[in-house]
Chain A
Amino acid sequence: MLTRKDRQRFERLTLPHLAAAYNLALWLVRNPAEAEDIVQTTYLRAFEAFHRFSGNSAAAWIMTIIRNTAFTHLSKNKRSDNLVSFDDVLHQHAKPLKNSFELTPEETFTRHATKVQVEESMNRLSTEYREVLFLRDIEGYSYKEISDITQIPKGTVMSRLSRAREQLQHFMQAQQAKDKRREL
């Protein structure tokens, strides 16, 4: 039976991470109402399982439940477009994207990517790619921590992150080129 004291301790540990939790959910499902739902479910589940909390990192614990809840939600709603990881697909069947080593100077950024361009490009990434980008570049988790949160091997975290950036770069270039053509 959970008591008032448990609740207070739980809130002290987890509520500081509410913004991170909400933003991760938002990055994954890209819908504010659904993200709110996921966060609420997460906090309730976490509280009910509070006695199992190891006491290590409350933030990472919350993040784990958020991402699991979000992925379950996405698969339940058959948002399969988000669920297919491009990790294998891209590198086995398709021509790999150019990485930054193969770019001609014209292809590199004009360094003026707008917020909209970035956001639109990010929206085109698969959920798994957005996930690692968020955990690494926004939240600053290490490869090892991301591996713990997502329950995928560290090597996969690294390659996913690398491909996510590669693809993002590619999408941003495409977006810029498109916008430029529209201007002309």
Chain B
Amino acid sequence: MNCDELKTQLESYLDGELTLSDKRDVEEHLNDCTGCTQAFDALRFVQTQVRESDYKKVPASLKLNIQNQLRDVTGEQTRRAGWFTWLGVGGGGMAAGALATWAIMSFVLFSPLHNQFADSIIESHISALMVDHATDVKTSDSHTVKPWFNGRVDFSPPVKDLHAEGFELLGGRLDYLQGKTVSALVYKRRAHIINAFVFKSEDATSLTTPTLMQRHGYNLVYWSKDGLEFWLVSDLNKKEISQLAQLFIKT
């Protein structure tokens, strides 16, 4: 075997794809030829570099999401993991752009109870838009909306003025979800309407960490705070609906 012949075989030799006799020929040549040995070493060095590059850890949420997705297909009960800590959407995350933010928020957890509830939330959201009855009290003034709920519901939903953050308050209304009266705050971002449902939390152990959920093309975020449960629903993208959730929690 001469140097030219070796060149054509070297890569296959490196990859262990040669027959035994070809392999022996290559090795014999390499024993005698410094030039080719150098070339081989360089090639092997590149391979080593690739091999040593880190195998990235699989996010814990990914496996669970997959398992739940599969259970959705078979119609089985979905698994519920410990609620993930919400790392926050703002700050440095924003600079990395929409996708990075998405990563933080994409802890898609489905439990049958929540799926059922989410469906009624979506239904309510859609019907309010369809009959053009998004608001009972139509005003962008949060100070008007808040007292409007007094006496209509036995809790006081926090009404935020988020105009400066790009979420325009359209007003509020009462709604009924699975037998209970809830308050709905209506916000608008560009052409997207967001319904924020607020009601008294019955479950003492309900989650305090915001969770993003995608269902039938809608994005939902839900969490509970100070005895109230919050559900945001919209066709708005994940990033912006998450942003709204964070504004709700922060301010």
Report A's interface with B, CB cutoff 8 A: 2-4, 6-7, 10-11, 15, 18-19, 22-23, 26, 31-34, 36, 39-40, 43-44, 47-48, 99-101, 103, 108-109, 111, 113, 115, 118-119, 122, 133, 136-138, 142-143, 158, 161-162, 165, 168-169, 172
Does chain A have a CB within 8 A of B67?
A: yes
Contact call A7/B71, Cβ cutoff below 8 A: yes
Contact call B51/A138, Cβ cutoff below 8 A: yes
Majority SS at the chain B contact face: helix
Given A43-B66, A48-B73, also A22-B58 (CB < 8 A): yes
Given A7-B76, A36-B103, A143-B17, also A168-B69 (CB < 8 A): no
Q: Shortest beta-carbon distance, A69 to chain B, in Å?
A: 14
State which residues 5-62 of B face A: CB under 8 Å: 7, 11-12, 15, 17, 35-36, 38-40, 42-43, 45-47, 49-59, 62
CB pairs A–B below 8 angstroms (5 shown): A18-B66, A33-B102, A34-B99, A39-B62, A169-B42
Majority SS at the chain A contact face: helix
Does chain A have a CB within 8 A of B139?
A: no
CA distance in complex: A162, B39 (Å): 13
Contact call B99/A7, Cβ cutoff below 8 A: no
Contacts of A111 in B (CB 8 A): 45
Does chain A have a CB within 8 A of B219?
A: no
CA distance in complex: A2, B69 (Å): 13
Contact call B17/A43, Cβ cutoff below 8 A: no
Contacts of A40 in B (CB 8 A): 62, 65-66, 69
A-B contact count, CB below 8 Å? 120
Q: Shortest beta-carbon distance, B74 to chain A, in Å?
A: 5
CA distance in complex: A4, B67 (Å): 12
Contacts of A108 in B (CB 8 A): 38, 42
Contacts of A142 in B (CB 8 A): 15, 17
CA distance in complex: A161, B14 (Å): 12
Contact call B15/A100, Cβ cutoff below 8 A: no
Interface size on B, residues (CB 8 A): 43
Across the interface, B56 reaches (CB within 8 A) one of A22, A109, A118, A161, namely A22
Contact call A33/B100, Cβ cutoff below 8 A: yes
Does chain A have a CB within 8 A of B250?
A: no
CA distance in complex: A40, B58 (Å): 12
CA distance in complex: A143, B99 (Å): 34
Contacts of B106 in A (CB 8 A): 33, 36
CA distance in complex: A39, B66 (Å): 8
Q: Shortest beta-carbon distance, A129 to chain B, in Å?
A: 11
Contact call A122/B50, Cβ cutoff below 8 A: yes
Does chain A have a CB within 8 A of B70?
A: yes
Does chain A have a CB within 8 A of B63?
A: yes
Contact call A172/B58, Cβ cutoff below 8 A: no
Contact call B103/A33, Cβ cutoff below 8 A: yes
Q: Shortest beta-carbon distance, B241 to chain A, in Å?
A: 16
Given A6-B74, A22-B56, A47-B73, also A109-B45 (CB < 8 A): yes
Contacts of A2 in B (CB 8 A): 73-74
Contacts of B55 in A (CB 8 A): 19, 23, 138
Contacts of A47 in B (CB 8 A): 70, 73
Q: Shortest beta-carbon distance, B42 to chain A, in Å?
A: 4
Contacts of A162 in B (CB 8 A): 11
Identity of the chain B residue whose Cβ is nearest the Cβ of A102 in the assembled complex: B39
Q: Shortest beta-carbon distance, A163 to chain B, in Å?
A: 10
Identity of the chain A residue whose Cβ is nearest the Cβ of B104 in the assembled complex: A33
Contacts of A168 in B (CB 8 A): 46, 49-50
Q: Shortest beta-carbon distance, A113 to chain B, in Å?
A: 6
Contacts of A18 in B (CB 8 A): 58, 62-63, 66
Identity of the chain A residue whose Cβ is nearest the Cβ of B61 in the assembled complex: A36
Contact call B42/A103, Cβ cutoff below 8 A: yes
CA distance in complex: A10, B66 (Å): 12
